[in-house]
Structure 1
Amino acid sequence: MSTPVKNDIPSASAAALIADMAKAAAGAHPVSITTTGLGPGLPSAIPAFWDGEKQVLVSARDEIEKYRLKPKASAGTARVETLESFIDLTNRHKLDSSVIFAATAWPNPKLTAVIDYHGTDHAPDFLKHRVEYGFPLTDEFKAWVGKNGKAMEQQDFAEFLEEHAAELASPLDQERTDYEPLFKERFALPNELIELSRSLEVFVGAKVKQSTRLQSGERQIVFETEHMNGKGEPIDIPGIFMIQLPPFVDGDVVRIPARIRYRVQGGALLWFFQLYRWEYWLRTRVQNDLLKAGKDTALPTFEGTPES
């Protein structure tokens, strides 16, 4: 009697398992796409999933990003309030490719460190990580610029000089040499300006009787009043003075010459001062701060703005 042949036909459970495996094989499975010849800035291969059932290629990026524990790159702009903070934060994050740009002109001076700038090997980068310093102005500088060239009544002018006495400075010898011949005026010392402000307060409301220019460059004003210091003495008005103050918060000082001007209107005086080339001195201060930032960070510096 012959031996029976073993039946190789799978059971119902085995058939179900095989069907599941076939279905899985027909569904999405990982593939790798090479990027050779597609240009710089890409990885050597890109992961994806091939959905055999739908016959489509599915990106793996969204699925992978769900499991990221940290950002893939630094991005955003940090804005600091002082030059020292700008230098320190730039040093904290700088790369070999980092650079500093500067907008040096009024009204929007600014230093911008682009941490992820394009490399010197011409490899492009994203330019998404930046540090900015916008040169916030001091209240004192705002006050001088805000009143620059604006006519003030006599009492307002006198009060302004007294209120800002701390910013008045004595001229240096070179400044006398440069500006007194230029304006044909004499420099006033701080104490002279304070004395002028107090003298003017005496004659608030008084009419001008006479205004004379002297050979020294000063002007003499005689007021028509009963109590003119009790003596009827004229007041000598210097033509120029010097201010010294930091224009930017916690920054170094600038020195700016200013002219004292007045005009008679209906017998009364209107006063104003004119800051001489103050925008130039401000730009020079920003340029000096740019040099300091470049030196202290050892990064290349450029006047201008980076690509947006």
Structure 2
Amino acid sequence: MAEQQKLDSHAIELVTALATEGTAPSILHITTSGLGAGLPSSLPVAFDRKSQAFKSVKGLVEEFRDAPARRKGTASTNTLASFIDLVNRHKDADSVLFGKTSWPEPKLTAVLDYDREGVAARNRGHRVVYTFPLTDEFKAWVNGSAKPMDQESFAAFIEEHAAELAAPFDGERSTYEPLFKETMATPSDVLSLSRHLEVMVSAKAKQGIRLQTGERTVEFTEEHQNAKGEKVVIPGIFMVSVPAFVDGDPVRIPARLRYRIAGGDIKWFYQLYRWEFFLREQVGFDLKQAADGTGLPSFEGAPES
């Protein structure tokens, strides 16, 4: 009797083990030969005997991974120098640079894990970008362009941004003076004008004349002086030299000086000439500097998304 009970117990254990084994999932390895590039030689999958279905084990494996399987993500830099240094830290033989040089969103992008012809495609997911953050000084000049200002505001603006006025080069004189038929001013000319306007802020203005030298004049008259007034020479063009991007090189932009007189009141404004062109030119220079500084090929445009 005892022997029979022992056999029955063993049979139950055996049946239970076989039932458990018949429903337990197992790991199978599927070869990937002929399925294309970018795959390992075999793929581990779990086979669920109960549902007769294959399931990926990738999620379970990733849950226990101590370090990333590959580099990915996008780093953002605030200066061109930092962009070059970070790219040099992570680049390899196939890394490339892309430059979007048009306004309003210029950007340099380094794709560190880029692919090339003749080899298997890479992930293209590890990147460094530089979005050319604008300086406050450049934004002030752009935002104020072509906007009329009263005499006091205009004089204050010129005084505040005096450090960004530049003497014209000979080549700039020969280019812009014939183009605009105006005389180019030096920084001292523009500052003298602004300081004179501060004194004459309460005076009435009368339309001036154009001198034989090509300069214009405006006549200011104090009310208590009757017709007696003082003529002020108005320069037609001046040069602005201001870093457009944080820690970047100065961009030189010609500005035309204008005024409008109505009922003795005068409004002043300046117009930056083709400033988007000069900005795009500077971005192109910076793209070349980044290519030279990293030794990587560069392309105008944007990488694959």
Does TM-score exceed 0.5, indicating one fold? yes
Structure-2 separation of matches of 1:196 and 1:133: 39
Given the alignment of the two structures, is residue 235 of structure 1 paired with residue 232 of structure 2, yes or no? yes
CA RMSD across the alignment: 2.1
Q: Deviations over 1:89-134 (max 9, x none)?
A: 1111112222111111111111111122223325323222211111
Q: Deviations over 1:22-72 (max 9, x none)?
A: 234322222111112211111111111223343222322222222211111
In structure 2, the residue matched to 1:266 is 263
Superposition pairs of residues 171-210 of structure 1, within 5 angstroms: 171-210=168-207
Check conservation: 1:97, 1:120, Cα contact below 8 A.
no
Check conservation: 2:183, 2:235, Cα contact below 8 A.
yes
Aligned-partner SS, 1:198: helix
Gaps of 5+ in 2: none
CA 131–227 in structure 1, closer or farther in 2 if over 3 Å, else same: farther
Structure-1 separation of matches of 2:50 and 2:302: 52
Structure-1 separation of matches of 2:122 and 2:108: 20
Superposition pairs of residues 1-308 of structure 1, within 5 angstroms: 11-12=7-8, 14-26=10-22, 27-121=24-118, 123-226=120-223, 232-308=229-305
Check conservation: 1:217, 1:238, Cα contact below 8 A.
no
How far did 1:10 drift? 7.8
- Deviating runs (4+, > 6 A) in structure 1? none
Structure-1 separation of matches of 2:160 and 2:211: 29
Aligned-partner SS, 1:251: coil
Check conservation: 2:206, 2:261, Cα contact below 8 A.
no
Structure-2 separation of matches of 1:16 and 1:217: 113
Q: TM-score, normalised by structure 2?
A: 0.92
Aligned-partner SS, 1:211: coil
Gaps of 5+ in 1: 1-6
Check conservation: 2:221, 2:230, Cα contact below 8 A.
no
Q: TM-score, normalised by structure 1?
A: 0.91
Check conservation: 1:93, 1:115, Cα contact below 8 A.
yes
- Equivalences, count: 300
Structure-2 separation of matches of 1:183 and 1:54: 83
